[in-house]
Amino acid sequence: MTTDDKLYTGAQMVMESFLREGVDTIFGLPGGANLPLYDVLENGGVGIRPVPEGVVPKEYPIRHYLVKHEQCAAHAADAYARVTGKAGVCYGTSGPGATNLVTGIANAFMDSVPLVCVTGQVISALIGRDGFQEADIQGITIPITKHNELVRNVNEIPRAMQEAFYIATTGRPGPVLVDIPRDVLQHTGKFYWQDKVQLRGYKPYTNGVDRDEVAKAAELIEQAERPIILSGHGVIISHAFAEVRELAEKANIPVITTLLGISGFPGTHPLYLGMPGMHGMYWNNIAISEADLLIGVGMRFDDRVTGRLKDFAPKAKIIHLEIDPAEIGKNVKPDATLRGDAKASLRELNKHVSHKPRERWFSWLDEMRRKHPSIVIRETEEVLPQYVIQQIYEATKGDCYVVTGVGQHQMWAAQYFWYDRPNSFVTSGGLGTMGFEVPAAMGAQVAAPNDTVWSICGDGGFMMTLQELATIAEYRWPIKFAIVNNNVLGMVRQWQELFYKNNLVATPLKNPDFVKLAEAFGILGLRAEKKLDVKPVIETAMSHPGPVVIDFQVKYDENCYPMVPPGASLDETIDQPTYAFEPKRVSDERRKVAVR
Amino acid sequence: MNGPSAQMRSGFGKIRPHTIIALVEDRPGVLNRIASKWRQRGFNIESLAVGHSEKPGLSRMTFVVDADTNAEQVVRQLDKLIDVVHIRDVSHEDIVSRELAMVKVKADRETRSHIIDIAEVFKAEVVDVEPDSIIIEATGDENHIDSLVNLLRDYEIIELVRTGRVAMLRGPEVSHPHEEDDEQYERAPGIHTW
Ligand SMILES: Cc1cc2nc3c(=O)[nH]c(=O)nc-3n(C[C@H](O)[C@H](O)[C@H](O)COP(=O)(O)OP(=O)(O)OC[C@H]3O[C@@H](n4cnc5c(N)ncnc54)[C@H](O)[C@@H]3O)c2cc1C
Ligand SMILES: Cc1ncc(C[n+]2csc(CCOP(=O)(O)OP(=O)(O)O)c2C)c(N)n1
Ligand SMILES: [Mg+2]
């Protein structure tokens, strides 16, 4: 326990906790109930004491970015957390401010992203009495937070904050909400800080790796003739990049990444096979159905990955490396389980594996890829959305962060881009939140100020959060927004076409002029209507020092393939329909054949 | 409060109502969090009893839930709650379970002694006697209470209240063992290299 004799207000305590936790960034928007938190920003409580060791002192140790809608504060903090690996922090006031955070919190919860959300609450005397702007945000967020707390006493604030960061960032990460009434933020007290957080009901660590299970897993790998590594988001969370790669190379096993696992393994590595599942590579889905061993690392066998569960990987034994006991055996029953942090487990496992040629497996995979190209760009008059993504890849060579919205463009960004930078792909997987593309790009840019951030946007999603262009213009974040503008809620239109007899109800969009819109915010707007425009427009955007919005006018009714129809199993994947002319295969140059 | 039907019991070949005991932080909102998980999965809580435990600041809960085998998933999810220190499904373990009931029955000079006789047979206590009524307090497992209540129905029950089941493992073992502090390790700092 540490304390000093100084009296702190509740708001200063929050700030002091941030400093001790190494927080440098807050996204938020003020209101009556959280004003005390704003009153101590960038003056008084902040920056007057030496910053803790290891934290680089800045002009202001903590910067607050004013968003235009609290949902975007939560999404920006979410992306900031994904890129840095630290907890993202956001603020909202009571009532509507807090409820506006809800979508962002749910998004972070589904994708195991560490967030600390601090909301102002109405004064204690009004709680439970329908006070002005009162919402029971603790009650509302119980199912979508890892933990939450309503702090009723000023002396509890440091403990609550310390626990919030501890809970958010350890074990399986997740969002934590701390709700503080305005009067509690104004009361004064002493600041007690524990040396170590101790929670009787929370044990995020395991006692090392279970040696028996490691031996069992190593034996399964040794025996396997057709093994696959399924690398997930947990690999990125635990920074196990080098360890997954070592397992793959040492034991000579091909790697598939889930949507959220993308950029956990080098995209142009010869052992890399791309994404599985609903819009995964055809060869992957068939390979999973043929495999005799699946090594799931930090992934939760989501239904978009497995297809119809009862027919998932019928021939495979399963090794599951997973930190959350509730995930083990939830969807598939593992034959060996390495519970704990993926990095630690892999390090142990890697000691016990050895190289096997697996020639038949690799030539089978190779044959599959030859027969079923899965990703192809046809020669067309119109601009194909896939072409736009591929051209952005060609222009950047993947040296950037890629943020996406949700829909077809998201899938194409996963399929037609090769992520050779670790942890460079930021997308909303579990909740699938349209509108993520704009605020998440902000968070990524703040987290990586010296890198380029490309946001691949849906026209539908962009329209959900575009008010943040004002924020982007204000802070001059040089984000490149590529709107894959098909003038339609494309993914839903595809479902209507395929499963609802093409009954296109409520999917076509009447969009504004995105170029003029950007200009109205003081942002450079560009447009590409023809294929020939695409490259130059990307180049202009890249050479422009500020933010850019590009309106790529793409084919309206392009479908996203491969596709596992809803309810079908992976071996019923529909590959690209055959086209009348020979398509240009994108896969050839990038995904080299993995025969050894 | 109706127990599960025989068909439900045999239909799954499993005992449907699960008895689950938990050691939880004595804090506002705990019940809300736990109930929320059962609700989300559509499981009905048949009974719930909460009270202080032998450890300061911790309460012990017993709940009986109408659930199939999937209860295991929910129990694991509940275990993840920060406020849940330990949780255990004891449905298939050797337990002692009890509940307490108070039954207010209409009683006059004529029927009073009959009612008291019944109470005695069930080792129940008479805790209140008025000219027109009598309150019987009984403890036992559900069957015991059910039988008592059934007999008392002949005398017009005015009010019935039951605590729901509380349960405990037989033998010297504590139902919620104290877990040793796990060895901690620091996650490597954010090295983003392959
Ligand atoms: C329109 C749309 C289409 C989609 N289509 C596909 C698709 O075709 N294919 C696909 O793959 N996905 C698809 N998704 C995404 C899908 O819904 C899931 O979000 C995704 O598959 C989950 O990936 P994951 O299990 O790797 O990550 P998460 O859901 O984030 O799970 C991570 C897992 O890792 C564990 N973990 C966390 N930290 C650690 C650690 N340190 N050590 C070990 N384990 C850890 C967690 O406990 C958890 O179990 C789609 C999403 C959308 C919106
Ligand atoms: C907030 C929200 N509402 C609805 C949906 C359902 N949905 C999934 S994809 C999609 C269409 C997205 O359209 P757009 O952003 O234009 O992307 P496209 O599919 O056209 O590339 C919709 C409506 C969603 N995922 N999120
Ligand atoms: Mg669209």
A400 and A503 co-located in one domain = yes
Helix ranges, A22-156 (H): 35-39, 70-84, 96-110, 137-141
pLDDT in tens, A152-163: 999 999 999 999
Q: Do A147 and B73 touch (CB under 8 A)?
A: no
A188 C-beta neighbours (distance < 10 Å), count: 13
Distance (angstroms) between ligand 2 centre and the Cα of A410 equals 10
A384 and A246 co-located in one domain = no
Pairing of strands A584-585, A376-377: antiparallel
pLDDT above 70 coverage of chain B, percent: 83
What are the b/e assignments for B25-54, b being 16+ CB within 10 Å?
bbeebbeebbeebbeeeebebbbbbbeebe
A422 and A357 co-located in one domain = no
A14 and A82 co-located in one domain = yes
Q: Is residue A107 part of a domain?
A: yes
- Tell which of A352, A371, A390 closes a domain: A371
A217 and A154 co-located in one domain = no
Decide if pLDDT at B181 tops 80: no
What is the interface size between A and B, counted as CB pairs within 8 Å? 77
* Distance separating alpha carbons of residues A238 and A233, to the nearest angstrom: 9
Burial of A230 (0-12, 13-18, 19+ CB in 10 A): buried
A367 and A423 co-located in one domain = no
Average pLDDT over residues B94-110: 96
Average pLDDT over residues B114-125: 96
Check pocket membership of A299 for ligand 1, CB cut-off 6 A. yes
Total domains in the fold of chain B: 2
Question: Rounded to 5 degrees, what are φ and ψ at B25?
Answer: -65, 140
CATH of the domain at B22: 3.30.70.260
Amino acid letter, A128: G
* Distance separating alpha carbons of residues A308 and B93, to the nearest angstrom: 35
A308: Cβ–Cβ under 8 A, 6 or more apart, which residues? A567, A568, A569, A570
Q: Is residue B142 part of a domain?
A: yes
Residue B192 is predicted with a pLDDT of 67
pTM higher than 0.90: yes
Q: Is residue B177 part of a domain?
A: no
Check pocket membership of A430 for ligand 2, CB cut-off 6 A. no
Residue B11 pLDDT level (bands cut at 50, 70, 90): very low
Helix ranges, A170-232 (H): 182-186, 211-223
The single-letter DSSP state of residue A579 is P
Q: What angle do CA A546, A549, A555 make, to 5 degrees?
A: 150
Residue B165 is predicted with a pLDDT of 95
In a 3-state reduction of DSSP, which class is residue B122? coil
Distance (angstroms) between ligand 2 centre and the Cα of A213 equals 42
Q: Helices A96-110 and A70-84, interaxial angle, to 10°? A: 30
Q: Is residue B150 part of a domain?
A: yes
Q: Is residue B190 part of a domain?
A: no
* Distance separating alpha carbons of residues A426 and A451, to the nearest angstrom: 14
Instruction: Note the ligand closest to the C-alpha atom of A434.
Output: 2
Q: Do B83 and A201 touch (CB under 8 A)?
A: yes
Q: Is residue A205 part of a domain?
A: no
Q: Is residue B173 part of a domain?
A: no
Check pocket membership of A233 for ligand 1, CB cut-off 6 A. yes
A337 touches chain B (CB under 8 A): no
B20 and B48 co-located in one domain = yes
Q: Do B192 and A241 touch (CB under 8 A)?
A: yes
B102 and B88 co-located in one domain = no
B34 and B11 co-located in one domain = yes
A359 and A401 co-located in one domain = no
A526 and A493 co-located in one domain = yes
Range of the domain at A394: 376-560
B79 and B123 co-located in one domain = no
Distance (angstroms) between ligand 1 centre and the Cα of A425 equals 13
- Cβ atoms of A126 and A155 within 8 Å: the answer is no
A449 touches chain B (CB under 8 A): no
- Tell which of B60, B92, B124 closes a domain: B92
Chain A hits for B193, CB-CB cut-off 8 Å, are 241-242, 422
A454 touches chain B (CB under 8 A): no
Total domains in the fold of chain A: 3
Range of the domain at B58: 7-92
Amino acid letter, A123: I
Check pocket membership of A430 for ligand 1, CB cut-off 6 A. yes
Helix ranges, B50-177 (H): 71-80, 112-121, 142-152
Q: Is residue B191 part of a domain?
A: no
B109 and B142 co-located in one domain = yes
Mean pLDDT for chain B overall:
86
Q: Is residue B181 part of a domain?
A: no
Chunked in runs of 10, what are the mean pLDDT values of chain A (596 residues)?
A: 81 93 94 94 48 56 92 98 97 98 98 98 96 97 98 97 97 98 97 91 82 96 98 97 97 98 96 96 96 98 96 97 95 96 96 96 93 86 95 95 98 96 98 98 97 98 98 95 98 95 96 98 98 97 97 96 94 79 54 37
CB-nearest to B182 from A139, A142, A207 is: A207
Distance from CA of residue A78 to its chain's centroid? 8
Q: Is residue B128 part of a domain?
A: yes
B82 and B132 co-located in one domain = no
CATH of the domain at B109: 3.30.70.1150
Residue B8 is predicted with a pLDDT of 40
Q: Do A200 and B25 touch (CB under 8 A)?
A: yes
